[in-house]
Structure 1
Amino acid sequence: MIKSIAVDLHYFPNLEFFAAIAEAEELVFFPEEIYQRQSFFNRTQIRLANKVGTLSVPIQGRRPRVSQNKIKIDSSQNWVNIHLRGIQSAYGKAPFYEYYFPYFEKGFQKNHESLWALNWEMLTICLKLLGSSVKMCMHEKDQDQTWTKDIRGELMPSVPFSERDYYQPESYFQLFGLDFDPNLSILDLLFCEGPASKSIILKSVKKQ
């Protein structure tokens, strides 16, 4: 049987996400699920010169009970330039920045109105750069269950990754400072380690 995992769609997912799906052959996403505030749906963490910083995509309104695929990005805010500058500031001197940044820049320049569409595009790019062959698909409400494992709602910012059974930090080269910051955005790993990123993720899968 194909190992299929039901999972939430995140904005530039952190390393715990990739450790959790490391053995998956298929990822199943749910665009009609209700948007949850204080989630990774619109935020990610990167390593800056003096701290770990958060990049958040602004969304229109704060209406309850809205499905994720109906969440619109608030384009009145200059968020794209802020995120691009943040990424450039954080990783402009990283070994693989010049190779990978153009992929993400092109994705940002599409000016997605939907946060779901933006996240889907960026995750697709990340998986491609990781050399992953995992299949991504969306599940509609009236479809039969196809997944063999369900981790929806588990990877939340409010609970430390150490309290879950997916990710055991594997240190790698990072810019700025001597202390290693675990579980940052996949951007941190890709820009710093390039083609070695996939093997580092596999080493970070928590042993059961």
Structure 2
Amino acid sequence: MPLFIPTYFSPISQYSEIYKQSKIVFEVEDNYQKQSYRNRCYIFNTNGKQLLNIPVKHPKKELRKKTKDALVENATPWQDQHLKSLKTAYRNSPFFEFYIDDLMPIFEKKYTYLQEVNIDTFLFINDALQLEVPFTKTNSFIENFGDNDYRNFASAKNHPEVSPKKYIQMFDDKHGFIPNLSILDLLFMEGPNAISFL
């Protein structure tokens, strides 16, 4: 089965691969890596590409921690900030009102682990796109997973070059088309038709 890392409102490219699968495995036994889509996503606002970042606790004594053990830092109101950014960027998009009520629990629930946030965002998108892609989690780290290894899609730096189809974006008249944003960008612009762009 294809192996992915659960990420925060994943990039469109990751969903273009998930869409092709009948079921997937989430890697949760790997070491947590900074500057990855595990705790960030990018949206399109009036100024262009905007980062939404979930703060993660980094205990000083801990040299390495597993992704499944990464703790959310709730000292800052990141959920309020992300929700406000999404409303500012997409409130006038064609499908924002259609999805916002179902999205709200993610911004109201108090999370302890980053993995919980990412699984909830996956379940939301799975439902919104009617993907019906079940998942399991790894029990141990697997070094080499062959051709079914999509863990590199979680890397913000070494992300695979993928060219999803272009679609109309909120501010593309000002900044041009920005590829591979969060799946939310595609969802708010295309709604149920988003599946045809994957």
Residue aligning to 1:172: 167
For residue 193 of structure 1, report the CA deviation from its aligned partner: 0.5
Residue aligning to 1:59: 56
Query: Structure 1 length normalisation: TM-score?
Result: 0.86
CA contact (8 A) 2:152 2:159 kept: no
Distance, in Å, in 1 between the alignment partners of 2:73 and 2:111 is: 10
Corresponding residue SS for 1:153: helix
Residue aligning to 2:76: 77
For residue 74 of structure 1, report the CA deviation from its aligned partner: 0.5
Most deviating of 98-107 and 42-51? 98-107
Most deviating of 24-33 and 87-96? 24-33
Most deviating of 167-176 and 34-43? 167-176
Higher helix share: 2
Change (3 A) 1:38 1:87: same
Change (3 A) 1:51 1:146: closer
Distance, in Å, in 1 between the alignment partners of 2:158 and 2:141 is: 32
Change (3 A) 1:186 1:77: same
Query: Structure 2 length normalisation: TM-score?
Result: 0.90
Residue aligning to 2:7: 10
Corresponding residue SS for 2:101: helix
What percent of counterpart residues are identical? 27
Aligned length: 193
CA contact (8 A) 1:29 1:138 kept: yes
Task: Look up the equivalent residue of 2:100 and give its one-letter code.
Answer: F
Structure 1 segments of 4+ aligned residues over 2 angstroms from their partners: 145-148, 159-162
Corresponding residue SS for 2:196: helix
Unaligned 5+ runs, structure 1: 202-208
Could you list the per-position Cα deviations for residues 165-196 of structure 1 after superposition, in whole angstroms to 9, with x for gaps in the alignment?
xx323111211232111100000000110010
Most deviating of 84-93 and 104-113? 104-113
